[in-house]
Structure 1
C-alpha cells in the first residue's frame, strides 16, 4: 500500500493506493481559514492534527503494510516554526492580502520586475517575500522567535518525522527567492526585499526533496516518507504532465495553469512563476490564478444554490448567460496570474430583473473558463491538456470548459495531488511504479465546434472588459 498526503488550503486529505495506482481509501478533514480585514491565517496545530487524523483513518480503512508515503500541500504563505517545528504564530496563508501595499510599492519602483527577471517569480501579497517583509515591519518579535520560515508541507514533514531541522524542496522554494538556473537562493533578491538580516530564516533546500522515516503519528513508525513537491507540481506528476508543451488545469480553490517546459524565458510581462522540478533544466511554467472554485462557491452561497444543482442550472441557460458576465477576481489580495493586480476585484455585469440564478451560475463558470484560457495561453500551452480538481465533479462544467478553451480535456479524477506525491516518493526511494498506469485519464471531453467558435469571440470581449477593470484598479 502507498499513501499520499495532500494538505490543502481548506481540506486535508490522505489517500491509499495499490501498486497499480488504484485508490483503496480516501480520508478528508476540513481545516479553518481565519479571515479578517484582508488577513487569511491558519492554525498550524489544527492543520497538523487533521493530517494525523486522516492518516489514521485511511490506514484503518485500507489495512496493510505501507510501502512508503508521499507528502504534498499548499504552497506560498509563511509558516513560522521554532527548532522543533512548532508554530511561533498562526500561518499566513497564500490567500493573505495584508502585504498588498508592499507589492504596490515594488511594482512602482521596479523591484517587482527586477525580482522576476532574476528568479522568474512574479510576487503577490501572499507569497513569502512580501509577507516576511510585512512581518519584519509589524511583527518583528515573531521573526526573532522563529527558527525557520517554511511552507505548509515542510512543517508537517518535520513533525511527522521528528527531524531536528526544517527543510524545504526546490518547488516550494521557487517563489520568490530561488534562482531557477542555479537552484540556490539569490541573495540579491533577499537584499532587494530588505530581508538580508532575516536570510537565516529561509529553510535549506533539499534538492529535490527530503526523505525520512515517520514517528508514531498516524502512520506505522518507521514508514518511509518523502517531502514534496508542493501541490501544483505534485498534481502535474499525478496527471502525467511531464513532456514539454503539455499542460494541466487545476480547477480547485486556486485556478492553477501549468505547462511543462525546458525553456526559461524571463522576458515579457512579469507574471506567474517558474516552478523548479526534480529534473534540472525542466520547469513548470505556472500561472496560478487566485480564485477558482472559491469564486463559484461564493456565488452558490450567495444565491442559495447547492453544488449538486450546478449541472442542472448550466443546462437552463445558453452560452453567454443572457448577457450576464462575471470577472471572477474575488480574492481579497487581487490577482497574481497571468498578471499581478493586487487591487483588482470581481465584477458582475449585464444583470437585470430578468436574470436568473442559472444565468449567474453559467456566467461565473464562463468567467472562470476565460481566466483559465488567459493563463494557459500566457504559460505557452502547445500540447495536450489535463484537468483535475474539485471542478471535474461537474460533467456540465467540464463540457463548458472544453468549449471555452477550444480543446479536448484529459480529465483525471481522484486524489491527483496525493497520487503525484506518491510518484515523487517512489522516484526518490527507487521504487518502480508504472507512471502511465497511475496517471491514466478517466475521461476525455471534446469541445463542440459551434460553441467553441462562440466562446472564441466572447473571450475577446472578456479580455477587453478585463483591461478596463485593470485600469480602474490602478486609478
Structure 2
C-alpha cells in the first residue's frame, strides 16, 4: 500500500493506492480558515491534527502495511515554526491580502519587475516574500521567536518525522526566492525585498526532495516518507504532465495552468512563475490565475441557481450566450496571471431584460474558458492537455472547455495531488512504479470542430474586451 497526503487549504486528505495505481480509499477532514479584515490565517495545530487523523483512519481501514508515503499540500503563505516544527503564531494563508499596499509599492518602484527578471516569479500578496517583509515591519517579535519560515507541507513533514531542522523542496522554494537556473536561493532577491537580516529563516532545500521515517503519529513508526512537491507540481506529476510542452489545467477555486518546460525565459510581461521540480532541468511554467470556479459560484448564488443544475443551464443557452459576455475577474485582489492587474474587476456585457440565468451561467463558463486559454497560451502549451479539479465534475462544462480551448482534454480523476506525491516519493526511494498506469486518464473529451472554430473568434474578442477592462482598471 502507498499513501499520499494532501494538506489542502480547506480540506486535508489521505489517499491509499495499490502498486498498480488503483485508488483504494480516501479520508478527508475539513480545516478552518480564519478570515478577518483582509487577513486569512490557519491554526497549525488543527491542520496537523487533521493530518494525523486521516492517516490513522486510512491505514487502519485497509489493515495492510504501508510501503511508502508521499506528502504534498498548499503552497505559499508563511508558516512560522520553532526548532521542533511547532507554531510560533498562526499560519498566514496564501489567500491573505494584508500586503496589498506593499506589493503595490513594489509594482510602482520597480522592485516587482526586478524580482521577476531574476527568478521568473511574479510577486503576489500571499507569497512568502511580501508576507515576511510585512511581518518584519509590523510583527518583528514573531520572526525573532521563529526558527524557520516554511510552507504547509514542510511543517507537517518535520512533525511527522521529528526532523531536527526545517526543510523544504525546490517547488515551494520557487516563490519568490529561488533562481530556477541554479536551484538555489538568490540572495539578491532577499536583499531587494529588504529581508537580508532575516535570511536565516529560509529553510534548507532538499534537492532532490527530503526523506525521513515516520515517528508513529498517523503512520506506523518507521514508514518511509518523502516531503514532495507542493500541490500544483504534485498534480502535474499525478496527471502525467512531464514532457516539455504538455500542460495541466486545474479547474478549481482558482485556475492553475501549468506547462512542462526545460527552458527559462525571464523576458516578457511579468506574471506567473517557474516552478522547479525534483528533476534538474525540468520545470513548470505556471500561470495560477485568480479567476476560477469561485466566479461561477458567485453567479450561481446571485441567480438563485444550484450547482446541480449546471449541466442543464449550459444546455439551455446557446454557444455565445445570445451575446452575453462575462469577464470573470471577480477576485477582490484583481488578477495575477497571465498578467498582474490588482484593480481589475469583473464585467458583464450584453445583458438586457431578455437575459436569463442560463445566459449568465454559460457566459461565465465561457469567460473562464477564455481566461484558461490565455494562461495556457502564455505558459507555452504545445502538447497534450490534462485537466482535473472540481470543475471537471460537470460533463457539460468539460465539453465546453474542450471547445473553447480547441483541443482534446485528458480528464484525470481522483486524488491527483496525492497520487503525484506518491510518485515523487517512489522515485526518490527507488521504488519502481508504472507511471503510465498511475497517470492514465479516466477519459478523453474531444472538441467539436464547429464550436471550436466559433470560440476561436470569441477568444480574440475576449482579448479585446480584456484590454479595455485593464485600461479602465488603471484609471
Structure 2-normalised TM-score? 0.97
Give the deviation of 1:112 after TM superposition. Answer: 1.0
> For structure 1, which runs of at least 5 residues remain unmatched after alignment?
none
| C-alpha contact 1:233 1:277 (8 A) present in aligned 2 | yes
Give me the whole-angstrom Cα distance separating, in 2, the residues matched to 1:325 and 1:57.
Answer: 47
Looking at structure 1, the residues matched to 470 and 322 of structure 2 have their Cα atoms a distance apart, in angstroms, of: 25
SS of corresponding position for 1:291: coil
5 Å matches for 1:28-427?
28-427=28-427
CA deviation after TM superposition for structure 1 residue 5, in Å: 0.7
Cα offset for 1:226? 0.4
Separation in structure 1 between the aligned mates of residue 10 and residue 316 of structure 2, nearest angstrom: 31
Q: 1:132 deviation in Å? A: 1.0
Matched, 1:12 2:21: no
Output the CA distance in 2 between the equivalents of 1:291 and 1:242: 25
State whether residues 260 and 284 of structure 1, in contact with CA within 8 Å, keep that contact through their aligned partners in structure 2: yes
**Greater Cα offset, 219-228 or 378-387:** 219-228
In structure 2, the CA distance between the partners of 1:291 and 1:78, relative to structure 1 (3 Å rule), is farther
SS of the counterpart of 1:315?
A: helix
State how far apart, in whole Å, the 1-side matches of 2:466 and 2:144 are: 42
Q: How many residues align structurally?
A: 475
- Cα distance in 1, alignment partners of residues 42 and 327 from structure 2: 28
CA distance in 2 between partners of 1:224 and 1:165 (Å): 18
> Any idea what SS the aligned residue of 1:337 has?
coil
Cα distance change of structure 1 residues 325 and 31 upon mapping to structure 2, 3 Å threshold: farther
8 Å contact 1:76–1:126 — kept in the other structure?
Answer: yes
Whole-angstrom distance in 1 between the partners of 2:349 and 2:87: 44
Q: Which runs of 5 or more structure 2 residues have no equivalent in the other structure?
A: none
User: What's the offset of the Cα at 1:305?
Assistant: 2.7
**Are the structure 2 counterparts of residues 304 and 162 from structure 1 closer, same or farther at C-alpha, using a change threshold of 3 Å?**
farther
TM-score (norm 1): 0.97
Deviations 1:434-456 (A, max 9, x none): 00000001100011111111111
SS at 1:447 equivalent: coil
Q: Which moved more, 1:406-415 or 1:26-35?
A: 26-35
1:346-396 CA-partner distances (Å, limit 9, x unpaired) = 223333333222222212211111111000000000001011111111111
RMSD in angstroms over aligned alpha carbons? 1.3
Cα distance per residue 1:149-171 (max 9 Å; x no partner):
11011111111111121110000
Q: Per the alignment, in what secondary structure is the counterpart of residue 343 of structure 1?
A: coil
Contact 1:15 1:58 in 2 (8 A): yes
